Amino acid sequence: MKFTVEMLTRGVDYARYRRAYFSEAFNCYVVPAANLSERTLIEHATLPDGREHRRMKIVPRIELPKLLQQILQGHRVQYEETMLFDPQARTARLEVHTLAGERLRVSADAQFIERQDGVLMRIQCDAQVRLFGVGTAIERHLVGEVTQRYALVERALQQFLDEGRDLI
C-alpha cells in the first residue's frame, strides 16, 4: 500500500532543519513526544561521496488490535530503520527491518524541500504485508500508525526548534 506523509517545520532553513532533525538532542527529545519507548542510533557513517548511512532501533508504544496481538504471539513491536541520506540532493531512502522478515516490508523515499515558510519533508511510503487474509487490514493499521506518529514528530520538531533547543 502506497501512501504519502508530509511534515512541515516552519521558520527554519534547510541547514538548521538538518542539524536539528539529525541531532542526538532531538533524538532524545522526540522519544516521549512521539510516544516511543526507545529511539537509539545504532550506526552512523559518512560515506566518501558525502552521503550518510544511519541505522536506528525504534520501539513504539502502541496499542494493537487483538488480531495483531495474536500474530505477534507476545513479541514486542520494534524495528530497525536504515537510512541513506544525501544532504546535497536533500533526499533519503529508508527501509524498515522487523522480525517478520519478508512478510512485512516497509520502505520510503523522503525529500526535504526548503520553502519560504520552512522545510517540508515529504515521505512517500510503501508498506507491504504478506499474510493471507489479513495483509490489507494490517497495511491499513500501519498507514494510520505511521501517519499519526509523524504528526507527533512534526509537533515535537517544531517545539524543539521554537524553544531553541538546537542552539544549546
Instruction: Give the pLDDT confidence of 70-117 residue by residue, as tens digits.
Output: 666 666 788 999 999 999 999 999 999 987 778 888 999 999 999 999
The pTM of this model reads: 0.89
Q: CATH no. for residue 135? A: 3.30.530.20
Structural domain range at position 69? 2-167
pLDDT score recorded for residue 137: 82
Contacts of 3 (CB under 8 A, 6+ apart): 124, 125, 127, 143, 146, 147
Measured between alpha carbons, how far is 27 from 44 in angstroms, rounded to an integer? 13
Quick one: cell of 2?
502506497
> Residue 113 in 3-state DSSP?
strand
- What are the tens digits of pLDDT across the range 31-55? 999 999 999 999 999 999 999 999 9
